[in-house]
A = this chain, B = another copy of it.
Amino acid sequence: MTPVRELTVGQVAMRSGVAVSALHFYEARGLIRSHRTSGNQRRYSRDVLRRVAIIRVAQEVGISLADIAAAFQSLPEGRTPTREDWNLLSTAWRDELDQKIAQLKKLRDGLTDCIGCGCMSIDKCPLRNKEDRLSAQGSGARRLLVER
């Protein structure tokens, strides 16, 4: 089996399970890179598969594309990222995940009580307490006004 040197969008789409349009989109967002053939078609190096896989996993963990892109900035520009490079990323995300899990647990443990009881005032209820809130590195800012 001769290693295929370069992949077309279609091939990447098939192998990564991501739509072609999504790949275009990721590229526009700077998450993946391609070079073009003389006929202007995209060609990808193999490590794009890893990148895409990581994008998907990170998304499932609740990390936004913007944050993923930011994290990818830490990857080496010139060379293909090594296992070390990737590990750095995953460690950071693991920490985030740990926090999210902890916060969800807190929420879960308080949910029944707090719905059942009379403590739903914003200032007193632990669930409604700003300090306890799930952290918001997300870039959205849509819901900012709501938190008082």
Chain A interface residues toward B at CB < 8 A:
15-19, 22, 49-50, 53-54, 56-57, 59-62, 64, 83, 86-87, 89-91, 93-94, 97-98, 100-101, 103-105, 107-108, 111-112, 114-117, 120-122, 125, 127-128, 133-138, 140-148
Contact, CB under 8 Å: B87 / A53: no
Contact, CB under 8 Å: B146 / A100: yes
Find chain B residues with CB under 8 A from A64 CB: 143, 147
Contact, CB under 8 Å: A90 / B107: no
CA distance A135 to B91 in the complex (A): 23
Q: Is the interface of A mostly helix, strand, loop or mixed?
A: helix
Query: Which of A15, A97, A108, A135 neighbours the largest number of chain B CB atoms within 10 Å of its CB?
Result: A108
Contact, CB under 8 Å: A62 / B116: no
Contact, CB under 8 Å: A62 / B143: yes
Closest to A14 in B: B148
Partner of A145, one of B19, B59, B117, B120: B19
Contact, CB under 8 Å: B94 / A112: yes
Contact, CB under 8 Å: A111 / B148: no
